[in-house]
């Protein structure tokens, strides 16, 4: 390392501060790039993280944020439904009506649809966009794919490598399964009712997938193999 080199020892605090500023700036560019589905911004940030040897750490941070976001919104469906149902069953409510179970299922599916087409769709698009950029980033020295290096690092540690896209599906399916088990499978009276509406849910999920991949920036980014030309001026 350079710690023992006397002539530059006094500059080490400045170097460290510069590194922190660079990481902070790149993190901001990554977050904004993901929200806006900006390929160049995301690519620039990922390239910086790779050069600083913190790419895996930063990807884990992003995966955690997206995972928590997905979990929070899917988990909110059951609590929101129970709260609304409680208000309608409250005898002190002058507008109290006895809801049929068919309507309960429809209301539950409506809440699910709102989450899928809103915050979860946004998280999915960001995850897919990040994956589309990541798989095209190359090591500036070897010209090898950075994602191949991440896979190799994981294999050396006997770990499984999850791309942002794979991570999204793992989290999404796990929490959707838990939601259905808690709300539907756990309620015997709901099972026959929900069976009638199951095709509606399949259509809903199909629409979710269609909307997720319909953004031109998503489909182009994921399906392209062209490497990125990183714009360093974004960091200035």
SS3 annotation, the chain? CCCCCHHHHCCHHHHHHHHHHHHHHHHHHHHHHHHHCCHHHHHHHHHHHHHCCCHHHHHHHHHHHHHHHHHHHHHHHHHHHHHHHHHHHCCCCCCCCCCCHHHHHHHHHHHHHHHHCCHHHHHHHHHHHHHHHHCCCECCCCCCEHHHHHHHHHHHCCCCCCCHHHHHHHHHHHHHHHHHHHHHHCCCCCHHHHHHHHHHHHHHHHHHHHHHHHCHHHHHHHHCCCCCCCCHHHHC
- pTM of the model as a whole: 0.76
Give me the tens of pLDDT residue by residue for the chain, a chain 236 residues long. 555 666 667 777 887 899 999 999 999 999 999 999 898 999 999 999 999 999 999 999 998 898 898 889 888 887 787 776 654 554 454 444 444 556 777 888 888 888 888 898 898 889 888 998 999 999 888 989 999 999 998 899 998 888 888 888 888 888 888 887 777 666 667 777 777 777 888 888 888 878 776 766 566 655 666 555 444 444 43
pLDDT of residue 94: 44
């Amino acid at each position: 390392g350079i710690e023992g080199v006397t002539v530059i020892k006094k500059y080490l605090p400045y170097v460290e501060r510069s590194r922190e500023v660079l990481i902070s700036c790149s993190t901001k560019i990554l977050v904004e790039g993901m929200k806006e589905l900006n390929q160049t911004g995301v690519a620039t940030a990922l390239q910086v993280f790779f050069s600083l040897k913190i790419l895996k750490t930063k990807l884990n941070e992003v995966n955690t944020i997206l995972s928590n976001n997905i979990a929070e919104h899917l988990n909110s469906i059951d609590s929101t439904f129970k709260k609304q149902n409680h208000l309608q069953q409250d005898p002190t409510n002058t507008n109290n009506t006895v809801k049929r179970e068919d309507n309960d299922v429809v209301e539950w599916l409506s809440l699910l649809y709102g989450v899928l087409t809103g915050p979860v769709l946004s998280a999915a698009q960001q995850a897919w966009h990040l994956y589309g950029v990541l798989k095209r980033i190359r090591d500036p020295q070897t010209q090898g794919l950075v994602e191949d290096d991440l896979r190799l690092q994981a294999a050396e540690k006997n770990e499984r490598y999850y791309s942002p896209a794979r991570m999204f599906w793992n989290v999404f399916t796990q929490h959707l399964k838990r939601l259905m088990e808690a709300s539907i499978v756990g309620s015997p009276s709901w099972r026959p009712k929900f069976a009638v509406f199951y095709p509606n849910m399949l259509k809903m999920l199909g629409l979710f997938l269609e909307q997720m991949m319909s953004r031109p920036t998503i489909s182009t980014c994921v399906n392209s193999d062209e490497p990125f030309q990183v714009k360093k001026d974004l960091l200035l």
